[in-house]
Amino acid sequence: MPLKIGKANSFPLRLPATMRRELRALAETEGISVNQLITLAVAEKIVRHQRRPALDYAADAGSPAIHDPNRLPQ
């Protein structure tokens, strides 16, 4: 299912103070806002989740690329 970009909504998020400090520091290091960093992290998780069935299928089929990440495709 493709990710649809639409109107942004507010989403209150409760984080421990230590995590907020780390999040702010990471966002500053990356040169982006905390909101952008959280949005990117969620988007990456969604993409990994969407690709998971394909990775499971390849692993079941014995794909060496899945079992050995150091092996390059032939």
Is pLDDT larger for residue 56 or for residue 49?
49
Q: Would 8 be classed as within a structural domain?
A: no
Residue 34 has pLDDT above 90, yes or no: yes
What gap in Å lies between CA 70 and CA 10, rounded to an integer? 41
* 24: containing domain: 17-67
Q: Would 73 be classed as within a structural domain?
A: no
Q: Would 58 be classed as within a structural domain?
A: yes
As for how many domains the chain has, the answer is: 1
Predicted pLDDT of residue 50: 83
Residue 20 has pLDDT above 70, yes or no: yes
Predicted pLDDT of residue 53: 67
Q: Would 5 be classed as within a structural domain?
A: no
Average pLDDT over every residue of 1-21: 83
Average pLDDT over every residue of 38-47: 92
Predicted pLDDT of residue 62: 59
Q: Would 74 be classed as within a structural domain?
A: no
